[in-house]
Amino acid sequence: MSEKAIETKPIKGYVFIKDLEEGTSFITEGGLEGTLISNNEGSALCYFTKHASNDEDVRKYWLKNTKRIAPQTNVKQKGS
């Protein structure tokens, strides 16, 4: 018996971060803004510059740091 791989697609109006070119600015569906630094099969390395949260601890964690996120994270390319 053969198994078919489940094909995932981004949410309408979004793309997966893995499909962006390095250096592209983006916004996640949660309002996190950043730039894609590098991408590989397992993660996307990003630098984040803006977060919609008013929670200071959340902002300290995400902002002005590089973080690795899942390559299938839904994002909108800034300016599109």
For the chain, which residues make up each domain, given as ranges? 22-77
Confidence at residue 72, expressed as pLDDT on a 0 to 100 scale: 95
Instruction: Walk along the chain (80 residues) and give the pLDDT tens digit of each residue.
Output: 567 777 789 999 999 999 999 999 999 998 899 999 999 999 999 999 999 888 999 999 999 889 999 999 999 998 76
Contact yes or no for 78/65 (Cβ under 8 A): no
The pTM (predicted TM-score) of the whole model is: 0.84
Can you say how many angstroms the Cα of residue 36 is from the centroid of all Cα atoms in its chain?
A: 8
